[in-house]
Each structure stands twice: as C-alpha cells, then as structure tokens.
Structure 1
Amino acid sequence: MSTENFIPLNTLCTHYKVTLSFFYNLNENGLIDIEEIEHTQYIHQDSLHEIEKIIRMHQDLEVNIEGIDVVLNLLQKIDALKTELQAVRNRLRLYEN
C-alpha cells in the first residue's frame, strides 16, 4: 500500500505538539482511523481537517476526548438538520409558486 496520501503520526505529533497517546485515544473512541503501513502509523490526509478541529477543541477550549465526541456528534446532527430544513424550504417554495 502506498503512503502517498497518508501523514505519519510522528509528524502530526511534532507539528501540533500533542502526544501519540492523544491520537491513540482518538482512535479508541472512533474519532479517527489510524492506518499501519510497514510498521509505521499514519493518518489519511482527508482526515486532517477533522483532526485540526479536534486539536483546537482540546488545546484551546480544554475539552476532553469524551466531550469532543459529544461536540462532533452534535455538529453532525446540526448539519443534518440544516440539510433537511433546506430541503423542506425548497419543497415549500414549489407549493407557494
């Protein structure tokens, strides 16, 4: 498997100034997926935006892993509700015209 689209965990730890155990805890709680390729652990680059959001919550707001999980679930529900509301508004416009 190619590591072209993956970022080594050690690089992320250095860049964001977090420990490996932080990423392991995120993985255990299902918040990120860690891939192991040739005895090195990686994160897919598509997960980087979500990881940055998680790290900001943890470092800037001092939210623990469980709290981050709750916040991310609530944000997903808000996005789903926004999408549903937009669909309902679009259907309503059809009946108004």
Structure 2
Amino acid sequence: MNRLSTFALAASLSAALGGTAIAQDAGGDAMAATEKCYGVALAGANDCAAGPGTTCAGTSTIDYQGNAWKVVPAGTCETMEVEGDRMGSLEPLDRDLPTAS
C-alpha cells in the first residue's frame, strides 16, 4: 500500500468509528431522558419484565399490573394517575397482580 492509500484507509476508519461513538452518545442521552414506570401499562402493553411467570414485552395480563413497567419521559412517572386514583411508581408495586394458578 502506498502512503496515500494508507492515509485514506486510516481516515475512513477514523470517520466510521467516530460516527459510531456519536450514535452511541445520542442513544445514551435518549435513555437518560426516560425512566421505568411501574403500574401504568395496560394488559399486554408493558415494555418488559412483568414479574414471575412473564418473560418480557407484552406479557402483563392485568391493566396497571404493579410489577409491569412502561418507559416514560424522565420525571413524569410519579405524576401519572391511572383509574382508581392509582399512581405510577419508580419501584414495582404490590397491587393488581395476577393470581397464581
């Protein structure tokens, strides 16, 4: 490889890796602007981890299930009110849980 080819390859790699770092920062900022909010998801509309017996997204079986969460904008969870004067929580709740079969 001549010097020009080596320089062009190095510049291309640098640009590609720099773009990846910028994309990761943007994704990190987006995640920092959100929080998990328990007890606000409708049945089958949770984002993940709805307690024992469930695997991930869409597995909650009860509206506003206390151990199921949705991703919401940061700072809004504890102000979210759902039916029956219930509020969202940053921690799993011991309410509206499916009965063991």
Q: Same fold (TM over 0.5)?
A: no
Q: What is the TM-score with the length of structure 1 in the denominator?
A: 0.32
User: Whose relative contact order is higher, 1 or 2, with alpha carbons under 8 Å and at least 6 apart?
Assistant: 2
Structure number with bigger Rg:
2
Q: What is the TM-score with the length of structure 2 in the denominator?
A: 0.30
